[in-house]
Structure 1
Amino acid sequence: MARIVVIGAGMGAMTAAARLAVAGHRVVVCERGETYGGALGRFERDGFAFDTGPGLLPLPAVYRDVFVKTGKEPLEQCVELTQVEPAVRHVFADGTVTDLPNASRAGIGEALDKALGDGSGARWAAFMNRARETWDRARRPLLEEPLFEDWQVLGEREPYPAVVHKRLLRRDRSAATLAEIGALELGGDPRLVALLEHFALAHGLDPRTTPASAAVLPYMEQTFGVWAVRGGMRALARALYERCVARRVEFVFGAAVTRIVEKDGRAAGVELADGTAREADFVVAGVASTALDRLAPGGVDLRARGDVPGRSGTPSRLTVLLALSGGRPGSAPHRTVVHAADRGAELDRLFGERPGLAAAPTVTVLRPDDPGLVPDDAHEAVTLTVTAPAHLEITPAEAERLIDHAEAAVPGLRDRLLWHEVRTPADVAEATGSDGGAVPAPALAAAGGGFLHPANTTRLPGLFAVGGWSHPGGGLPHAGMSGALVAGLIVEGPGFRGSQ
């Protein structure tokens, strides 16, 4: 039985802790804050409750696996999951509206034909067939295996089977980025392009530079569906915490780690801000990569091999929480995406040299049908989320413009508004410890490895990295996958090759 210290109580860290405890190890989690969950925060006021991080769960199979492998009670006995229907309503810049069904390829095609014109569904279906090939080629090495020393294979090979377009007297051309897929393979319809590019933008990725392999992002959502958790996503974090406690994982809150202790050339424990120390045979760091570097013995970069190029300038999120009078209409979709009036201007502002918010950016509006989030059925809790530059200071006027823009999804919103609360990139930084509130994106293949994340192993033997800032990157499913990979590497050793 090994002694294991886990730094942080995020979802990836708790996944690893539960799996390691079941394997017979003695696990203690040191969390600098006063609660668990990492990005899955919660804000409560006047009987209203809001998720301050992700509001929906994609690919729930990842957490089903965690609960199956760590106890007798499956995930559905610990939280109530509801498949959202429709999966999403899109309000495009020209006013076109379409509702896309959940996990129904045929239904999505029919909806696109009806809203955007005949042929739109067929073009999208052809793209999704290519996205399926991308998923089949990239899934295991990208998501289910540790990042091995030959990670360059993932960086060099583009798994997306782009269509080659022949042009008279000019070189043949095929899509290398998500934006080029929209231009070359979706007929250039600005609404189909906006639909495609939203999947990148929602993860803080610039579709103009994001590799075509990002086709796996819409494939995952539209194939496996999206789910709501009764009581909010915080209920999922609570269930995982309780599973850890049931497996005798020890949690110490208000315990900021100031240094990773090295002894005889390997990780030997941690030192805490109060001067105490925790000895360990293994240390699992569920913190942002910049924070991990600060904890390193002697300030040495601990990330494995240091060869993965990685990304810089990762954006954050701006969230506005709305308390409304009047009940939620039964016909209201759970999620609506209101697209930017000018997508090019939005991308220039977000990813340009002087980052900022567009006047009317793409906003995701969540209207959960959940009585546990409101004081009574005469009120509604609504959440607005926008991808925003890290470190950005949000002005009251920008928040007000965002509320006005969201009226396309919630008619009469202004007349119903009781109060609102703004959660800025600074609040994200406080909750997660990331630099400027940056939110990690999922790992992607191709582009020379520039969209991969550092390996779960590090330069220091006995030290492992878990969570969104390590392989396989950000997002709730990916966090759970990282926890499974770290547990496998510790339990089975360097020969671990992922789940079978």
Structure 2
Amino acid sequence: MARIAVIGAGMGAMAAAARLAVAGHRVTVYERAQTYGGSLGQYAEEGFAFDTGPGLLHLPAVYRDLFVKTGKEPLERCVQLTQVDPASRHLFADGTSVSLPNASRAGTVAALDTALGGGAGATWGAFLDRARDAWDRSRRPLLEEPLRPDWQVLGRDPYPAEERRRLLRPARRAGTVAEIGAWELADPRLAALLDGYALAYGLDPSHAPAGAALLPYMEETFGTWYVSGGMRALARAVYERCLARKVEFVFGAEVARVVEKDGRAAGVELADGTVAEAAHVVLGARPWPGLVPGQELWADGDVTVRADGAGAGRFVVMLSLRGGRPADAVHRTVVHPADGAAEREAVFGGRIAAHPTVTVLRPDDPSTRPDAEHEAVTLVATVAPHGPVDWTDEGLRARFAETLTEAAGTAVPGLRERVLRTRVRTPAETAADTGAEGGAVPPPALGGAGGAFLHPANRTRLPGLLLAGGWSHPGGGLAHAGMSGALVAGTVVEGDGFRGSQ
């Protein structure tokens, strides 16, 4: 039995803590905030409740596995999971719309054919066939195994792009999400649909490798789920599982550095000077300068934390509405702008998009509203991080919230007249609450682009120090964070012989 210190109480860190505790280790979690869950926060006011982080769950099998491996009580006894059907409705700038069923390939193809015509369903279905190949090639090395030492082989894009022949010029294949949309999907509405999946993960479709096609495949194949009580209920269930396995939590405890002794991690030093010894340290946050004084966590040739600063963040508008939720309301609607390229250039150029993609979430959940005569609606847009944009500017926040509310009016008729109260959460709040630089949300690891979209391995060059959560392999996203916890625990328990889940 070893003493293990975990830095941070995000989902990846807690997943690692629970698994390590079950393996017989004494685990203590040190969290700078006063609560658990990392990005899975919740804002509540006068009977209304809103998720401030992810609002839906994909790949619930990751958390089912966590609960099976850490106790007799399965996930569904701890939280109520409901499949969202339709999984999403999409409103396009030309006035057309389509509702996509949950985890039904045939249903999706039929819905696209009916709504968009012109063989749109068959085109999207053929794309999903290629995306399935990318998933099959990527699943184990990108999600279920530790990052391999010869990670450079993952720099080859797993997506089997169609060859595009050009008059008097060499044939080319789509190398990015945007090129798949332009060259293989052709219909700008299908291209917008694909772009929306990338944007939702904080990825720039113009630069994200074609291998990102596995993201819509993952969602459309394994389904979209809602956790009753909001995603915060999932964080609470994981936290309670940790407590049941005797994991100790110390909140309001900011870790200043990792203690090194005899060439390996030997504990953590808190900001108040307190030192807690440990045989292993798990970092569930993005590494910062001075984390291990005098030590390099990565050698030349390793995947390292990018030095180019923060990526994209999330702007969230929480609307308390008068009037009940209609019975035919759709849980998730995505409102696509007319000019997706202009949005991408703004967001990933450090500016505010005039017409952003807006996701409207309307959960049919009594716990999110004071009574049946009211409704809680959340609007979400991917935005530039805090820094390039000053998200503390009250006027700017109010104007952008109005932009999202206006766009959402096409999804929620009479929305503006129903608003009782508007609350806003920006990357500035995310940065303050989680410590993430600029309030950025880490994207998932992807194959292709020479490995530029991979994340640092869970094992660092300092023996005894491991990384969990979205800033390490296999990257960001709720399911990915849970996978990182499994990889870290397996590495500690099985040592050098660990090769991933079977």
TM-score class, shorter: over 0.9
SS of the aligned residue for 1:261 comes to strand
Deviations 1:136-164 (A, max 9, x none): 11110111110121001111x21111111
State which of 216, 230, 240 in structure 2 corresponds to 1:242: 240
Matched residue of 1:295: which SS?
A: coil
Question: Taking structure 1 as reference, are residues 93 and 304 closer, same or farther at Cα in structure 2, changes over 3 Å only?
Answer: farther
Any conservation in 2 of the 1:86–1:102 contact (CA below 8 Å)? Answer: yes
Paired with 1:47 and 1:342, the residues of 2 have a C-alpha distance of 38
| 1:50 to 1:482, Cα distance in 2 relative to 1, 3 A | same
Any conservation in 2 of the 1:393–1:425 contact (CA below 8 Å)? no
Structure 1 distance, partners of 2:277, 2:221, is 45
Instruction: Give 2:334's match in structure 1, choosing from 337, 347, 356.
Output: 337
Query: Which residue of structure 1 lines up, in the alignment, with residue 152 of structure 2?
Result: 152
Is 2:414 the counterpart of 1:412?
yes
Counterpart for residue 295 of structure 1:
291
The one-letter code of the counterpart of 2:250 is V
Question: What's the CA shift for 1:347?
Answer: 1.0
Per-residue CA deviation, residues 12-57 of structure 1 (Å, 9 max, x unaligned), is 0000000000000000001111100000001011111111000000
Q: CA deviation at 1:99?
A: 0.3
- 1:350 Cα shift? 1.1
AA of the residue aligned to 1:388: V
Counterpart amino acid of residue 218 in structure 1: P
Q: Which of 189, 200, 203 is residue 201 of structure 2 equivalent to?
A: 203
Question: Are 1:118 and 2:118 matched, yes or no?
Answer: yes
Residue pair 2:298, 2:304 contacting (<8 A) in 1 also: no
- The C-alpha deviation readout for 1:177-198, integer Å capped at 9, x for no partner, is 1111111111x21100000111
Worse-superposed segment, 402-411 or 14-23: 402-411
Residue 274 of structure 1, CA deviation: 2.2
The Cα of 1:345 is off from its aligned counterpart by 1.1
Q: How many residues align?
A: 493
Does structure 2 retain, via aligned residues, the 8 Å contact 1:42–1:52?
A: yes
Shift of 1:168: 2.8
> What is the one-letter code of the residue matched to 1:17?
A
Amino acid across the alignment from 2:11: M
2:380 maps to 385
Write out aligned runs for 1:1-20 (5 A): 1-20=1-20
Q: Aligned partners of 1:294 and 1:473: how far apart in 2?
A: 22
The corresponding residue for 1:38 is: 38
Q: Write out per-residue CA displacement over residues 414-449 of structure 1, whole angstroms, 9 at most, x where no aligned residue.
A: 100001111011111112211110110000001011
Structure 2 counterpart of 1:162: 161
**Offset of residue 167 of structure 1:** 2.5
Shift in Å, 1:110: 0.5
Q: Is the 8 A contact 1:56 1:226 kept in 2?
A: yes
Which residue is 1:347 aligned to?
344
Q: Contact conserved, 1:304 with 1:454, CA < 8 A, in 2?
A: no
- Find the aligned partners of 1:339 and 1:272 in 2 and give their Cα distance: 46
Q: CA deviation at 1:68?
A: 0.2
Q: Deviations 1:195-252 (Å, cap 9, x if unpaired)?
A: 0111111111111111110010000000000100000000000000000000000111
Specify the alignment match of 1:375 in structure 2.
370
What residue number does 1:87 align with? 87
Name the % identity.
68
Which one of 239, 257, 263 corresponds to residue 261 of structure 2? 263
Q: Which amino acid aligns with 1:383?
A: T
Where does the alignment leave 5 or more consecutive residues of structure 2 unmatched? none
Shift of the 372–306 alpha-carbon distance from structure 1 to 2, 3 Å rule, reads: farther
**Structure 2 counterpart of 1:459, which letter?**
R
Give the partner amino acid of 1:374. R
For 1:267 and 1:47, locate their aligned partners in 2 and report how far apart those are by CA, in whole Å: 46
Output the TM-score relative to the length of structure 2.
Answer: 0.96
- Aligned-pair CA distance for 1:301: 4.0
Pairwise CA distance, 1:310: 5.8
Q: Say if 2:492 is the partner of 1:486.
A: no
Alignment RMSD: 1.2
| Counterpart for residue 190 of structure 2 | 192
Question: Which has the higher mean CA deviation after the structures are superposed, 173-182 or 227-236?
Answer: 173-182
Cα shift at 1:297:
2.1
**Alignment partner of 1:316 out of 292, 313, 317:** 313
- The letter of the residue matching 1:265 is G
SS of residue paired to 1:356: coil
Q: How far apart are the structure 2 equivalents of 1:442 and 1:235?
A: 23
Q: Which amino acid aligns with 1:163?
A: E
Secondary structure of 2:212's partner? helix
Query: Secondary structure of 1:294's partner?
Result: coil
2:469 aligned residue: 467
Q: Determine if contact 2:6/2:30 at 8 Å carries over to the other structure.
A: yes
Residue type of the partner of 1:317? R
Deviation at 1:341, TM superposition (A): 2.8
CA distance in 2, matches of 1:302, 1:432: 22
Alpha-carbon shift at residue 259 of structure 1 (Å): 1.3
SS at match of 1:142: helix
SS at match of 1:4: strand
Whole-angstrom distance in 2 between the partners of 1:216 and 1:309: 23
Deviates more, 1:401-410 or 1:210-219: 401-410
SS at match of 2:319: strand
Equivalent-residue separation in structure 1 for 2:290 and 2:383 (angstroms): 26
For the residues of structure 2 that align with 1:169 and 1:342, how far apart are their CA atoms?
31
Question: What secondary structure sits across from 1:493 in the alignment?
Answer: helix
Decide which moves more: 472-481 or 401-410: 401-410
Which residue is equivalent to 1:69? 69
Mark the CA change 1:309 to 1:24 in structure 2 (over 3 Å): closer, same or farther.
closer
- Relative to the length of structure 1, the TM-score reads 0.97
CA deviation vs aligned residue, 1:239-292 (integer Å, no higher than 9, x gap) = 000000000001111111111100001000001122211100000000123x3x
Q: Which residue does the alignment assign to 1:360?
A: 355
Aligned to 1:254: 252
Superposition map of 1:416-427 within 5 A: 416-427=418-429
- Quick one: distance in 2 between partners of 1:310 and 1:215? 24
Residue type matched to 1:344 in 2?
A: A
Q: 1:429, 1:160 → 2: CA distance?
A: 34
Any stretches of 5+ residues in structure 1 without a counterpart?
A: none
> Aligned AA for 1:486?
V
Offset of 1:118 from its aligned partner? 3.5
Structure 2 CA distance, aligned partners of 1:55 and 1:217?
17
Q: For residue 24 of structure 1, what is the amino acid of its counterpart?
A: G
Moved more, 198-207 or 6-15: 198-207
8 Å Cα contact 1:304-1:458 kept in structure 2: no
Secondary structure, aligned partner of 1:244 = helix
SS of structure 2 residue aligned to 1:361: coil
SS at match of 1:441: coil
Partner of residue 456, structure 1: 458
Change (3 A) 1:294 1:379: farther
Residue of structure 2 in register with 1:438 after alignment: 440
CA distance in 2, matches of 1:310, 1:92: 37
